[in-house]
């Protein structure tokens, strides 16, 4: 349960120098605050259908652990 979001959301663990990173619902950069959002379509500064994609992700996880690897540009 995320105390900030008010609903169950997967937490990203073992990120050096960071805590409280979660996968959650959001469509725009203002929704993120350092977390990850999911969607079915990626725009320039947005994702679409975030709730639909998040519900699909959480249904697949259902108490399972997942490993994710970031492969984006090095900032």
pLDDT digits (tens, 9 = 90+) for 19-54: 888 999 999 999 988 888 999 999 989 999 999 999
SS3 52: helix
User: Does some domain include residue 1?
Assistant: no
User: Does some domain include residue 66?
Assistant: no
Maximal CA-CA distance, the chain: 33
User: Does some domain include residue 70?
Assistant: no
Domains: count for the chain? 1
In Å, how far from its chain's centre is CA 29? 12
User: Does some domain include residue 74?
Assistant: no
Whether residue 74 has pLDDT greater than 60:
no
Cβ proximity of 22 and 32 under 8 Å: no
pTM: 0.78
User: Does some domain include residue 28?
Assistant: yes
Mean pLDDT of 3-31: 89
User: Does some domain include residue 71?
Assistant: no
User: Does some domain include residue 41?
Assistant: yes
Residue 39, domain extent? 11-61
């Amino acid at each position: 349960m995320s105390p900030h979001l008010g609903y169950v959301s997967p937490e990203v663990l073992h990120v050096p120098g960071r805590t409280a990173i979660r996968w959650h619902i959001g469509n725009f950069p203002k929704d993120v605050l350092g977390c990850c959002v999911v969607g079915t379509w990626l725009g320039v500064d947005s994702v679409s259908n975030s709730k639909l994609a998040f519900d699909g992700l959480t249904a697949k996880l259902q108490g399972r652990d997942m490993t994710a690897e970031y492969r984006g540009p090095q900032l």
